[in-house]
């Protein structure tokens, strides 16, 4: 058995010397020292020896195992260091190369337009308020003079949560909330997300509005026109003009649609304005006395004006964007145009 141990030891030392990688050395360890390894098998055979031979052969086996393990550890340390250096060399960073410039984010064009609009009305003395997106029937419809049988309540136009709550169809409910909790004078703009069952190139089921409300003594249509003219000239250009056309909204009386001279052609007529020189931007009017009364404000003492505009509509006109869906596709090439960057 002593000769067998010597033969296995020499074979193991030769295998260690021939191995060049950590993986190969691991295979040598398993081959000779593993559970079914050659030296381990010899150690399992000690039980078949006589009591006199067993201690001596055990000692020889242990010495052989120690010698093999020592050789493995020395060779393994050298192999690990060699592979480490090779890996470091392969992964070396050239510190002389120019660094990667972090990409700066930018505000979404809808957010930019919202902040521009809010800034204009803050300069006129308005404050900013926000309201819930899940709104009660009372504030979304009833207090705005929209009765139960009004077409705006049609299931095809409105997302209903249940019989009493809807996803708000406009930011106007905050008008009612402000007028039922505040005493005049009131001057407020209300930006927010709204929902309607509508979807095409110029409409989205989710979009953004800014509502404006002013309630005080002696407010007239002239005040509304002056306010919106100042807004249009600051938002588009100082030469922008506005035009009021008769319209109908349940919560204003009289009501108007407001057009501005086309920002693309300056009013001369083009594809965007369909040759008219005018582009519709919002609806407005004098607050309906019935709405004032329902909100607890004396309509004989106070009057007011209100307006509502779509942020996407303003952004499309301001930047000449043809399709509303471009705002929601998260295409970096599109968004970079609003940060002064050019796609390369």
Structure tokens at 261: 């001279």
The stretch 261-281 carries a mean pLDDT of 81
What pLDDT sits at residue 202? 58
Which has more confidence, 69 or 222? 222
pLDDT beyond 70 at 152: no
Beta bridge partners of 136: 165
Q: Are 258 and 242 in contact (CB under 8 A)?
A: yes
What pLDDT sits at residue 342? 38
What pLDDT sits at residue 319? 82
pLDDT digits (tens, 9 = 90+) for 199-241: 666 567 888 999 999 999 999 999 999 999 999 999 888 888 9
Which has more confidence, 105 or 253? 253
Q: Using CA atoms, how far apart are residues 106 and 278, in angstroms rounded to an integer?
A: 31
The stretch 169-179 carries a mean pLDDT of 92
Q: Using CA atoms, how far apart are residues 315 and 319, in angstroms rounded to an integer?
A: 6
The stretch 247-273 carries a mean pLDDT of 86
Structure tokens at 235: 């938002």
What pLDDT sits at residue 1? 67
Q: Using CA atoms, how far apart are residues 96 and 203, in angstroms rounded to an integer?
A: 52
Q: Are 235 and 318 in contact (CB under 8 A)?
A: yes
Give the alpha-carbon dihedral of 262, 268, 272, 275, to 10 degrees.
Answer: 130
pLDDT digits (tens, 9 = 90+) for 5-33: 788 888 888 888 888 888 888 888 888 88
Mean pLDDT comparison of 81-90, 144-153, 278-287, 311-320, highest-scoring range? 278-287
Classify 118 as helix, strand or coil. Answer: helix
Q: Using CA atoms, how far apart are residues 60 and 221, in angstroms rounded to an integer?
A: 111
The overall average pLDDT reported for the chain is 86
Structure tokens at 329: 């596709």
- The closest of 145, 217, 179 to 296, measured between CA atoms, is 179
Backbone dihedral angles phi then psi of residue 334, each to the nearest 5 degrees? -70, -45
Split at pLDDT 50, 70, 90, the class of 247 is very high
Backbone dihedral angles phi then psi of residue 303, each to the nearest 5 degrees? -140, 175
- Reduced 3-state DSSP string for 314-337: HHHHHHCCCCHHHHHCCCHHHHHH
pLDDT digits (tens, 9 = 90+) for 281-293: 899 999 999 999 9
Which positions ≥6 away from 287 have C-beta within 8 Å?
175, 213, 215, 251, 252, 303, 304, 305, 306
Angle between helices 311-319 and 109-122 (to 10 degrees): 100
Classify 342 as helix, strand or coil. Answer: coil
Q: Using CA atoms, how far apart are residues 242 and 262, in angstroms rounded to an integer?
A: 10
Mean pLDDT comparison of 53-57, 79-83, 318-322, highest-scoring range? 79-83
Q: Using CA atoms, how far apart are residues 98 and 94, in angstroms rounded to an integer?
A: 9
Classify 195 as helix, strand or coil. Answer: strand
Q: Return the residue matching tokens 């005493």.
A: 183
| % of the chain exceeding 90 in pLDDT | 38
What pLDDT sits at residue 157? 76
Angle between helices 221-235 and 109-122 (to 10 degrees): 130
What pLDDT sits at residue 344? 38
pLDDT beyond 50 at 343: no
What pLDDT sits at residue 102? 81
Beta bridge partners of 255: 247, 285
């Amino acid at each position: 058995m002593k000769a067998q141990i010597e033969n296995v030891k020499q074979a193991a030392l030769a295998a260690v010397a021939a191995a060049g990688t950590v993986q190969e050395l691991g295979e040598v360890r398993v081959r000779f020292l593993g559970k079914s390894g050659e030296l381990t098998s010899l150690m399992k055979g000690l039980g078949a020896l006589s009591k006199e031979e067993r201690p001596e052969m055990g000692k020889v086996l242990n010495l052989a195992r120690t010698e093999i393990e020592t050789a493995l550890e020395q060779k393994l340390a050298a192999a690990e260091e060699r592979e480490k250096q090779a890996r470091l060399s392969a992964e070396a960073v050239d510190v002389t190369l120019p660094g990667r410039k972090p990409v700066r984010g930018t505000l979404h064009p809808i957010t930019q337009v919202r902040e521009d609009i809010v800034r204009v009305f803050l300069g006129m003395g308005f404050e900013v308020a926000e309201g819930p997106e899940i709104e009660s029937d009372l504030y979304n419809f009833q207090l705005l003079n929209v009765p139960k049988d009004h077409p705006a309540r049609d299931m095809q136009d409105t997302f209903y949560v249940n019989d009493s709550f809807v996803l708000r169809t406009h930011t106007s409910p905050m008008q009612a909330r402000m007028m039922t909790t505040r005493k005049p004078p009131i001057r407020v703009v209300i930006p927010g997300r709204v929902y309607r069952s509508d979807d095409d190139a110029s409409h989205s089921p989710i979009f953004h509005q800014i509502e404006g409300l002013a309630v005080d003594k002696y407010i007239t249509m002239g005040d509304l026109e002056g306010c919106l003219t100042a807004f249009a000239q600051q938002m588009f250009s100082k030469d922008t003009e506005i035009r009021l056309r008769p319209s109908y909204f349940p919560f204003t009386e009289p009501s108007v649609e407001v057009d501005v001279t086309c920002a693309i052609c300056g009013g001369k007529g083009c594809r965007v304005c369909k040759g008219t020189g005018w582009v519709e931007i919002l609806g407005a009017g004098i607050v309906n006395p019935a709405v004032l009364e329902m909100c607890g404000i004396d309509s004989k003492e106070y009057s007011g004006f209100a307006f509502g505009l779509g942020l996407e509509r303003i952004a499309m006109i301001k930047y000449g964007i043809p399709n509303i869906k471009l705002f929601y596709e998260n295409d970096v090439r599109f968004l970079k145009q609003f940060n002064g960057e050019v796609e390369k």
